[in-house]
Structure 1
Amino acid sequence: MAVNKPFLAWDRQLLRAGDRVCVAVSGGADSTALLLALLEANAEKTPLGIVVSAAHVHHGLRGADADADEAFVRELCERLQVPLQVFRVDTAARQAAEREGLEEAARELRYDALRGLLRQGLADAVATAHTLDDQAETVMMKLLRGAWTEGLGGISPEVKGSGVRDQGSESGRVIRPLLGVRRAEIESFLNSREQGWREDATNRDLSLTRNRVRHELMPVLRGFNPSVDDALARLAAIARDEESYWQAEVARLLPQVLLPGKPVRGGGRAVSTAVGEQSCAVEVARLAAMPAAVRRRVVRALGREVGSRLTAEETAKVLALAGFGGVAGVTGRIGSRLELREGLRVERSARELRFWRNGV
């Protein structure tokens, strides 16, 4: 087995000596390369010192092609002497039950199976083979959907606490060591090892948004900027840092301005509400004293307090209701109310902006 360093930009710092690392292997080029790269790094003069295993998820889709993917992964792991676990899930049933898109249903089932290894203490980390190309595509999709900074952060190199609570802290990690590696470099690596891989025909299905971004939009953007993938990856890293800062800042600020329940005649507040109702408020004057960036974050945090994630459009409407900015069809008059998704209601009183939501 070759022991030369496989990639220039892969993140070895995500891998800790002694860790049991389970590689999610679909049979495609990226995951096949990740498995080989970890094994090669374990065979270097200064080895990683990790214990490598693999997992494959059969999604119950694509018939004989999916069966062939599983057979390929089984043969690969047997040849490389890597322990393998195979999970079979019913993606179509999940999609129907949860009313999700096919990609979303498959992703949720896949990660649930992989995190099960962490919950059961069978692995310390699950490694997925997301690449720089995947990162750029993800950020572009988020931009098209009008995401906030948490969305623009794209794919995180490491997600801690992905397993189970252990002695008061979250254990287990999902790691992406190839997030700085281009797809073309991965294919070159495999070809240099004379290692084949499986091609998923659905990766060419242009009815799927990601495939349209990958095959239609990204080539056009590279015509404007050949380094657009790197630029989008840098944007993701900046957005993750920004989001980390703001999460801590809002957590510090929110207790100072959040008012539980609703005001009652004669003063005071009624914290107890109707069965299943969640309610909180903020004084409009307190919002007015905040910089716009803080005000926007506080409004979104108040939505989360009652179990709702405000979109960019909804946040703008709530701010307009409080008298900050203009949105067509929204008035800041006293007594005005917004009816938003998931049963969320926001009402403007003389002094407060009140959020409430019935249990759904």
Structure 2
Amino acid sequence: MTAANQRRRSPSIRDVAREAGVSRQTVSRVINNHPSLRPETRDRVLQVIEQMRYRPNAVARALGRNSSHVIGVLALQRTQYGPIAAIQAIEEAAVAYGFVSFTVPLTDTSSDMIREGLEFLVSQQVAGIVVIAPQRPVLKEVTQLELDIPYVLLHSRVDDETDLEIFADQRHGARLAVAHLADQGHRRIAHLAGPADWMEAEARLHGYRDELTARGLDPLPVVHGDWSSASGAARADPIVASGATAVFCSNDQMALGLIHAVRLRNLSVPEDVSVVGFDDIPEAAYFAPPLTTVRQDFASMGRRCVARLITPPPGAPMAATRLDITPASTVALVVRESVHNITSR
């Protein structure tokens, strides 16, 4: 039997709570010897724990007992603009509350790496965790740990845990990009997508297809990059060969590489090929031509993450306590000069 199979068959805190007829919080209080429990409730839960041979996760227990002023951040990448901007926003929001943040980078998505990252955060006695790793293996491991402290998932969608999410509406942002290209007369619109195992890339791909379908346009074969400018340049051949007059790129770095490669093929941007990116990195306004792109409000998402994790102290800035920002309001189309109107062709 593999370790994964053993983990799936092991009873969880949910199983214990259901069998004992109590909440998960009550089971957690029993495990951590909380004094405010009735003896009969404690005994019943302990009996079920013994019968089911439930073994509480050591990481979850340690996290559940902390009371520090440190926000832990578990992040998959610190080389791309999105994660960097999100981490910076969380750091600034934490300071506004009188907290500090501590980031643990993940070099891969293995179970051991994820658990090691959480164990290190435990050693720092964090008060809560923000997960910036929008890949399904990471989210699966985090949810299986059943943490007993506050945690939120940034940039991710988990269907059965929507109360733990803070996210920009990637799908809506992609539709804004494709709608702008279609409004400028483009009918053959290609998509340079991000890595297939990234949930953000998946959402943007769905948005691309949704908008084309809504307008009665056919999608072109999708090409995947790895978020880097080099991968954008390397994917130029199939995009040009498709006869696309416009390309929606899943991030600005890949758009930069694509623009460079298109020019090497004696084509012009935007006259021959229009390009729209995603993220609005600081350099996007200085591309040649300046890049039309989709902006994400990382500052608001950072504030929401920290506010979701902690109770604001008296006198905290009001801007840092707002939780009423809807997903769609965190993305916006920024129109510059990389899209050509071809309605007169």
Judge same fold: TM > 0.5, yes or no. no
Higher relative contact order (CA 8 A, sep 6+): 2
Tell me the TM-score normalised to structure 1 length.
0.27
Tell me the TM-score normalised to structure 2 length.
0.27
